[in-house]
Copies of this chain bind each other. A is one copy, B any other.
């Protein structure tokens, strides 16, 4: 592997988002994977655990220790769970690494909201304030210089791509927002559990954490930041019997006078340069299969005059644009690469 590739370490590289980051990076033309950690598989070759990556030139899994990196990577993608990783990431940033964190540890700006949401203090409030919220399409310039990127949650990504363009142009009543999202099971971590056993999820469907999911304050923070004032919204996640993908239907009351054209213009303007947002034609509706295993987002809007309701629907892969795909997109932006480098493979359909 060429010595002038940028060296990337992936922490927590054996979970669902971790191994997806590895898969994406093995196909990336400008990076080299220089270190991989896994608590569970430390000491083992990746291809012994994940045969689909056999043939790639990968370092073995190692344990995550405070000083494990020692300058072996310019950039670190952390797929570690909430709370456990913050102190190590703080240390890594101090030592000069640039970090993309897929956990929620640095996403919330307000320490009180963080505390209320995650039942824990922020690990490094100052760093949380500096961290760039990595919703790539809306933070390109900040990402270029970012030391620490708080990669967005999967549900917030699917919701905010729809909401921000509308809020920016004041096309909807922010107090009317209802988000009904449906996620595949890889939204939950790859840990032993009864709840996510095949026989519990298969041929089943249910809502969970109605109005209380931890991604709610994250969505509200970003909407409020654009709006310029606090907003509270309703968010209901559901568990789909599929492996990957989040389809999000967002319902809103349009401002008086808002037209379909206004909505279309808002999205066209917001995503004119977006490589991964597919604004669908009128009559087309997002499907999860079209974005599976990719960093793409499909989006479409319907304004129903009868009920005076606007619905916007988005489809993403929760492990792609909702996690590791967006992390690689952010890496590209941070390093000045082509934003789409390594990310343009088409979804396998069917």
Q: Is A192 an interface residue (CB 8 A)?
A: yes
In this complex, the member of A19, A199, A201, A236 whose beta carbon has the largest number of chain B beta carbons within 10 angstroms is: A199
Given known contacts A251-B251, A298-B51, A203 and B203 CB-to-CB distance under 8 angstroms: yes
Query: Is the beta-carbon distance between A203 and B288 smaller than 8 angstroms?
Result: yes
Residues of B within 8 A of A192 (CB): 192-194, 197
Q: Is A134 an interface residue (CB 8 A)?
A: no
In this complex, the member of A27, A242, A348 whose beta carbon has the largest number of chain B beta carbons within 10 angstroms is: A348
Size of the A side of the interface (Cβ < 8 Å), in residues, is 86
Given known contacts A52-B346, A311-B236, A202 and B198 CB-to-CB distance under 8 angstroms: yes
Query: Is the beta-carbon distance between B182 and A182 smaller than 8 angstroms?
Result: yes
Q: Is A309 an interface residue (CB 8 A)?
A: yes
Residues of B within 8 A of A285 (CB): 206-208, 210
Query: Is the beta-carbon distance between A313 and B210 smaller than 8 angstroms?
Result: yes
Q: Is A200 an interface residue (CB 8 A)?
A: yes
Residues of B within 8 A of A54 (CB): 278
- In A180-205, the 8 Å CB interface with B consists of 180, 182, 184-186, 190-194, 196-205
Q: Is A333 an interface residue (CB 8 A)?
A: no
Q: What's the Cα separation between A200 and B202 when bound, in Å?
A: 12
Residues of B within 8 A of A280 (CB): 51
Q: What's the Cα separation between A309 and B210 when bound, in Å?
A: 11
- In A320-336, the 8 Å CB interface with B consists of none
Query: Is the beta-carbon distance between A198 and B241 smaller than 8 angstroms?
Result: yes
Query: Is the beta-carbon distance between A51 and B211 smaller than 8 angstroms?
Result: no
Q: Is A308 an interface residue (CB 8 A)?
A: yes
Query: Contacting chain B: which of A98-106, A107-115, A289-297?
Result: A289-297
Residues of B within 8 A of A346 (CB): 23, 26-27, 52-53, 55-56
**A197, chain B: closest CB distance, angstroms:** 5
Q: Is A215 an interface residue (CB 8 A)?
A: no
Q: What's the Cα separation between A147 and B247 when bound, in Å?
A: 44
Q: Is A74 an interface residue (CB 8 A)?
A: no
Query: Is the beta-carbon distance between A175 and B308 smaller than 8 angstroms?
Result: yes
**A279, chain B: closest CB distance, angstroms:** 11
Q: What's the Cα separation between A52 and B294 when bound, in Å?
A: 10
Residues of B within 8 A of A203 (CB): 202-203, 242-245, 288-289, 292, 350
Residues of B within 8 A of A90 (CB): none
Interface string of A34-64 (1 = CB under 8 A from B): 0000000000000000111111100000000
> Which of B52, B191, B207, B243 sits near A198, CB closer than 8 Å?
B243
Query: Is the beta-carbon distance between B241 and A306 smaller than 8 angstroms?
Result: no
- In A290-320, the 8 Å CB interface with B consists of 290-294, 298, 302, 304, 306-309, 311, 313, 315
- In A227-261, the 8 Å CB interface with B consists of 232-234, 236, 238, 240-245, 247, 249, 251
7 new A-B contacts at CB < 8 Å, known A202-B243, A210-B311: A23-B346, A196-B199, A197-B197, A198-B198, A203-B243, A205-B247, A210-B304
Residues in A lying within 8 Å of B, measured CB to CB: 16, 19-20, 23, 26-27, 50-56, 175-178, 180, 182, 184-186, 190-194, 196-208, 210-211, 232-234, 236, 238, 240-245, 247, 249, 251, 278, 280, 284-294, 298, 302, 304, 306-309, 311, 313, 315, 344-350
